[in-house]
Amino acid sequence: MGTGAFTSVSADRDITVDTAGDASAFLQFTRAEEDGGVTPNAQEYVTLPTDGAFAIDLTDTNESAGTGETGGSGVNKDAVTIFDNLVDVTNNGTQEVNIGVDLSTEPSELGIYAEDVQGTDDDLGGGFAVRNYPEDPNWDHTLGVGETLENIGVYVTDPSAISGETTYTVTIIAERVGGNRD
């Protein structure tokens, strides 16, 4: 075996990395499906280019509007609006993972939920959010290899806090069950 003094080693090694669109990535996001087809909400509100990341656009309903009709153009004031069945997420990795939205990245005027668990007004983010990540995360959802978490939706609880058209970015975390454990 090799032994001997060395002060420094610098070794270049090759890494081939494939990037993929959300629809075929290790953590896969697809438009929500129900009864074998994409849900109407997902068709209207979710964009998912084959070579990119999904986005949710709740600014208008022009795609659903009939010819000559004008679609909706935003959420109502002084109302709670729920958008069900937007996105499904699938674990295409090799280990069981916990999954959720990092609550610290979720704006207080809206919440993201999964599988019909929408939380309550005094418990914003209930359902799909992860509190206290990464120190002491409380995960609500676990996905085995190949499993899908269905019906991720958005509810807007405080439209008065939204001025005009606003874009938010939230962070979704999937981490192997058990967290860090070497």
Contact residues toward another protein (CB under 8 A) are 1-22, 24-29, 51-53, 90, 92-94, 145-146, 176, 180-182
Token pair for 149: 């978490």
Question: How many CB atoms within 10 Å of residue 38?
Answer: 17
Question: How many CB atoms within 10 Å of residue 119?
Answer: 18
Q: How far is CA 165 from CA 116, 151, 156, 174, 180, in A?
A: 26, 25, 13, 29, 39
Judged by CB, which is closer to another protein: 82, or 170?
A: 170
CB of 26 closer than 8 Å to CB of 70? no
Q: Which residue has the tokens 């058209």?
A: 165
Q: Which of 75, 131, 65, 64 is nearest to 104 (CA)?
A: 131
For residue 65, the minimal CB distance to another protein (Å) is 31
Judged by CB, which is closer to another protein: 1, or 79?
A: 1
For residue 167, the minimal CB distance to another protein (Å) is 14
For residue 75, the minimal CB distance to another protein (Å) is 26
Alpha-carbon distance of 81 to 94, in angstroms, equals 37
For residue 143, the minimal CB distance to another protein (Å) is 12
Judged by CB, which is closer to another protein: 26, or 168?
A: 26
Judged by CB, which is closer to another protein: 75, or 170?
A: 170
For 103, list phi and psi in degrees, rounded to 5. -60, -30
Judged by CB, which is closer to another protein: 96, or 158?
A: 96
Q: Which of 125, 120, 123, 179 is nearest to 152 (CA)?
A: 125
For residue 50, the minimal CB distance to another protein (Å) is 9
